[in-house]
Chains A and B, each alone.
Chain A
């Protein structure tokens, strides 16, 4: 598949970050840090790698994405709107009463493949989808994005075993490895280093990349698709709150939204950046 223009992607990422911040500020609550870290990963999936048809969200042969770290949904919603699943105007209903854009992803919004938010369950769900595709000899692929903090959940490692046991090479896990969780740095809250070795020892193919560099992410996604006989995980090294200096690498920005003045400051900063 032909790669989208690099400059166009960078512009898209800037616009997406601004949209995410506006959605969060408009909602008055939400998860800023772990949404901003997802932008390049989601754009690479929806505008390069995944096959889907926004007019037919239930298309049988589509690739599927399970956002296991459901709290990053403001990023997913904005990418789904960009991809044409629903009108962009709906984005500003995020977290408001009566919306399809719930505080954590919920079935019912076109493009959402599973209700997630209780951490640790998404990879198992993705396995079920990948097993079905294998059983039915369909070549659709399944992607599952997890947080690095989420990897503390025991169920993740049950699912890691399952995917390897069933040689799910149609499954690709992506870890948004932003190094922070609610209580602080992951290494202090629950040190899971060496992370790549853990996945490797469980029988997975492991790729590491910079989760904010499109070329690296797209290369990794291609490699994952090419790897046969076992599942692949992409450890995408990211920055929590990426793109806004006063939000980056701050644990306290996990579960809060920008206030009006903070939003203005953030939007200005994004606009003034070269890329």
Chain B
């Protein structure tokens, strides 16, 4: 892992996916890619250039694309169906449920342009609900890589995984905080910074904000632990229970709805195993047009907001 004081590079998680997919195409002949008219935006045009025979276009028809991916998987393929998060999880949810999840198929649903960080496109395009919508499905694995490198790792690892996967990716360039050599295992949380006073659990771009928040807190002699949960489901319960036991309070951070998102996941795990106060940073209303920075500020998703929540959680600690 890189230190946030380092000179950080920036790139897009969707590009990490696009790079990983090309590697997968070379390594695995069973990988097919499905597009719903967003092949450049979702970065699958890189795969198309290399493997045109395994690339299929469906036009603006997400429902058809998802069920067709199921047909490919039923015939032995590993099908990557790619579009924006809102369309993958929202418009085609019943297709995801019946055609993909209930049949437990090797379909990978890639939702890019997720989160409030989509920015200027406005609220129709800011997917804030897919973690919830996808994790309620019994067989679905849900991945939220935190940066370009992790997205590439997650993509490469996804081919061997059994059963369906939803992967949430962003539009904008965000700081690269993981390293090419960092291990990546689906279902395993990552301890980014140890600490004994409180734990900050984050996913996606909010992991960087969490690391910044931990740095701010350290100035006040508050030693915060930071955990990156790149796999929302199946979640790494042990890393969360350990954090609850050892630090006694948790703050969660996500650019996603608080109804059913990462905060809910962490609360479910802790309340079942070792209840501690959990404060949550995330969305409670629909978004609007603006730059990612403006929107993060408007909806209290900044490192400063995490810091504030951490102080409140500390007060609730027994």
Interface residues of A (CB under 8 A from B): 107, 113-118, 120-122, 124-133, 135, 154-155, 158-159, 161-162, 165-166
Q: Report whether B72 and A132 are in contact in the complex, using a CB–CB cutoff of 8 Å.
A: yes
5 cross-chain CB contacts under 8 A: A118-B97, A135-B32, A155-B61, A155-B63, A161-B59
**Cross-chain contact B71 with A124 (CB below 8 angstroms):** yes
With the chains together, A115 CA to B61 CA distance in Å?
21
Q: B68's contact among A127, A133, A154, by CB below 8 Å, is which? A: A127
Interface size classification for chain B: 20 to 34
Is A117 touching B98 in the complex (CB atoms < 8 A)?
yes
CB of A166, distance to nearest CB on chain B (Å): 8
Mostly, the B contact residues are helix
**Are A135 and B53 touching (Cβ within 8 A)?**
yes
B72 touching A124 by the CB < 8 A rule?
no
Partner of A113, one of B72, B74, B79, B95: B74
- Contact string against A for B residues 89-114, beta-carbon threshold 8 Å, 1 for contact and 0 otherwise: 00000110111001100000000000
Chain A nearest CB: distance from B79 CB in Å?
A: 7
Q: Which residues of B contact A127 (CB under 8 A)?
A: 64, 68, 71
Interface residue SS majority, chain A: helix
Q: Tell me the smallest distance from the CB of A183 to a CB of chain B, in Å.
A: 20
Interface centre among B32, B68, B72, B76, by most chain A C-beta atoms within 10 angstroms, is: B68
Chain A minimum-CB-distance residue to B57: A165
A162 pairs with B53, CB closer than 8 A: no
Q: Which of A107, A130, A159 is B64 in contact with, Cβ under 8 Å?
A: A159
Contact with A along B59-73 (1 / 0, CB 8 A): 101011111111111
Task: Give 5 A-B pairs besides A128-B74, A131-B71, A158-B63 with Cβ atoms closer than 8 angstroms.
Answer: A115-B99, A115-B102, A124-B71, A128-B70, A159-B67
A120 to chain B, nearest CB (A): 8
| Inter-chain contact B63/A128, CB cutoff 8 Å | no
Question: In this complex, what residue of A is CB-closest to B102?
Answer: A115
Chain A residues closer than 8 Å to B66, beta-carbon distance: 124
Chain A residue at smallest Cβ distance from B97: A118
Q: Give the complex CA separation of A125 and B68 in angstroms.
A: 5
Please name the residue on chain A nearest to B75 by beta carbon: A132
Contact flags B177-214 to A (C-beta < 8 A → 1, else 0): 00000000000000000000000000000000000000
CB neighbours (8 Å) of A133 from chain B are 75
Q: How many angstroms from the CA of A128 to the CA of B72 in the assembled complex?
A: 5
CB pair A126 B58 closer than 8 Å: no
Instruction: Decide if B77 is an interface residue (CB 8 Å cutoff).
Output: yes
